Amino acid sequence: MQLVQELPEIFESFAEQRKKSFLMVKEWKDQGKPIVGSYCTYFPKEIAMAAGAASVSLCSTSDETIAEAEKDLPKNLCPLIKSSYGFAKTDKCPFFYFSDVVVGESTCDGKKKMYELMSEFKDVFFLRLPHEQTEAAVQLYRNEIIRLKDYLSEKFQVEITDEMVREATRVNNRANQALKDFYGLMKHDPTPISGYDVFKVLYGSTFKFDRAALAEEVIALKQKTEEEYKAGKHFEKRPRILITGCPIGGATEKVIRAVEENGGVVVGYENCTGEKAIGIQVDENAEDIYEAISRRYLAIGCSVMTPNHNRFKSLDEMITEYHADGVLDMTLQACHTYAIETNKIRRFVNEEKGIPYLNVETDYSQSDVGQLNTRVAAFIEML
């Protein structure tokens, strides 16, 4: 039975949130409130929240400004990096324009060097991210988080106490848990909604400044969707696809559409759109709140980590819990860490989980949409 949606306006509201926030960010700025921009899930937004700042994801998912970026950056660089820099350089991203500071991070060499160029025309605070998930790394990143706290405290002329950080942690934990509970609805078979509707909520939530209000909104949406499902309204039964790999958003939404326009349904996002960003909580009752924040963020299973055990752990759990029939691994061109990891992911999915795997490499253009649809359609037909 196809879902008879009574909630389309809610999902579209999340889809339009980025545009709405373009206006909100100016209002926030006009009120004298600070704004901190970031690009990565390793950014500890609890610290910015404790400083009274709005934390916002910056524009980085369109090919609109890549040509301008390539005047300074190599053409054979990851499109996410080129897009990030291009929007910043051309002032076509209102979030970047109004940000008081951009928090960068040493996830990969390309981003690290790009932040050097960006710092020539914007204040950039650079987080030195360890590339291993050890106890020593936790302490190293803890020190970086405290360094960020001290920087924001001085820049915005505000006191940031441990209790303020702890309270921000409680608020952010609740928002993340609400989002996790919401996309957990996709464990149902058939699913209550489409994977694209789930994506609208997850992606749109990154542009909402008020994390407390976000939690309430998502909790209500989850309850309403659950009620609709119990009433017999749901998405039609289809092959269930789990997406992993590079961040999805903007131009790469074509991957989601390729799945759902060719007979499948995306039941989960293991990448930065979903589980990586939301799936782990900070221990808000820990004696050392900064160590707890460090431990939470370093647990993210990104391919920049060596070894990257947590990505496989997350995939293992999600494939089982979401009853995935197949895994689609999306890699952006020139993203070397994810590209190198694809063979290990393929073996894990095929041999240990016993389900089919498909890797697609793409960029931010629409030139490969036909080929992408052909490959994904064949994969789903096989399922």
Q: How far is CA 13 from the centre of its chain?
A: 19
The pLDDT value given to residue 189: 97
**In contact, 362 and 372? CB cutoff 8 Å:** yes
Number of H-type helices and E-type strands within the chain:
17, 8
Does one domain contain both 359 and 315?
yes
- Block residue for tokens 């924001």: 152
Residue 6 lies in a domain: no
**Does 10 map to a domain?**
no
Residue 368: CATH number of its domain = 3.40.50.11900
Please, which residues have CB within 8 angstroms of residue 263's CB and are 6 or more apart in sequence? 238, 239, 377, 380, 381
In this prediction, residues 284-288 reach a mean pLDDT of: 97
Q: How far apart are CA 379 and CA 325, in angstroms?
A: 11
pLDDT at 1 over 90: no
Instruction: For residue 346, give every residue at least 6 positions away whose Cβ sits within 8 Å of its Cβ, in sequence order, or none.
Output: 329, 357, 359
Average pLDDT (95-122) is 97
Residues 110-135 have a mean pLDDT of 98
Position 20 scores a pLDDT of: 77
What is the Cα–Cα distance from 281 to 67, expressed in whole angstroms?
39
pLDDT band with cut points at 50, 70 and 90 for residue 287: very high
Q: Are residues 214 and 272 in the same domain?
A: yes
Which residue in 131, 84, 78 sits closest to 104, CA to CA? 84
> Looking at the domain assignment, is residue 59 inside a domain?
yes
**Domain limits at 324?**
164-382
CB 345 within 8 A of CB 244: yes
Average pLDDT over residues 98-102: 97
Distance from C-alpha of 146 to C-alpha of 161, rounded to nearest angstrom: 11
6: pLDDT strictly greater than 60: no
Please state, in angstroms and as integers, the Cα–Cα distance from residue 266 to each residue in 112, 218, 231, 360, following that order.
32, 19, 22, 15
What is the CA angle 98-150-34, rounded to 5?
20
* Domain contains 198: yes
Give the C-alpha distances (Å, rounded to integers) separating 316 from 6, 242, 273.
Answer: 34, 11, 18
Burial of 13 (0-12, 13-18, 19+ CB in 10 A): middle
Summarize the confidence of residues 147-168 as an average pLDDT.
98
Q: What is the DSSP letter of 365?
A: S
Q: What is the mean pLDDT of the chain?
A: 94
Q: Residue 337 — pLDDT band, cuts 50, 70, 90?
A: very high
In a domain, 11, yes or no: no
Is the pLDDT at 320 greater than 90, yes or no? yes
Please tell me the predicted confidence (pLDDT) of residue 206. Answer: 87
Residue 50: closest CA among 162, 197, 144, 200: 162
Non-local CB neighbours of 121 within 8 Å, separated by 6+ positions: 88, 89
Instruction: Give the global pTM.
Output: 0.94
Q: Is the pLDDT of residue 3 over 50?
A: no
Same domain for 222 and 154: no
Let me know whether 377 and 333 are in one domain.
yes
Whether residues 272 and 377 share a domain: the answer is yes
| pLDDT > 50? residue 4 | no
CB contact set of 330 (below 8 Å; sequence gap of 6+): 243, 244, 245, 246, 248, 252, 255, 271, 359, 360, 362
Q: Is the pLDDT of residue 111 over 90?
A: yes
255 and 345 fall within a common domain: yes
Q: How many domains does the chain have?
A: 2
- Residue 254 structure tokens: 């074509």
**Of residues 256, 239, 277, 233, the one with CA closest to residue 38:** 277
Is 1 within the bounds of a domain? Answer: no
202 and 129: one domain? no
**Positive or negative torsion for Cα 29, 33, 38, 40:** negative
What does the pLDDT look like over 225-274, one tens digit per residue? 999 999 999 999 999 999 999 999 999 999 999 999 999 999 999 999 89
In-domain check, residue 348: yes
Question: In this prediction, what percent of the chain has a pLDDT beyond 70?
Answer: 96
Confirm whether 2 is domain-assigned: no
Confidence band of 14 (pLDDT split at 50, 70, 90): low
**Mean pLDDT along residues 182-186:** 97
Q: Are 95 and 221 in the same domain?
A: no
Same domain, 118 and 175: no
CA–CA separation, 272 vs 347, rounded Å? 22
DSSP element (H, E) containing 320: helix 309-321
- For residues 43 and 9, which has the higher predicted lDDT (pLDDT)? 43
Whether 172 contacts 55, CB under 8 Å:
no
Cα 19 from chain centroid? 18
Residues 184 and 262 grouped into a single domain: yes
Separation of alpha carbons 101 and 118, rounded Å = 11
Q: What is the mean pLDDT of residues 199-208?
A: 90
Sequence-separated (6 or more) residues with CB below 8 Å from residue 207? 17, 18, 20, 21, 56, 57
Q: Is residue 7 scored above 60 in pLDDT?
A: no
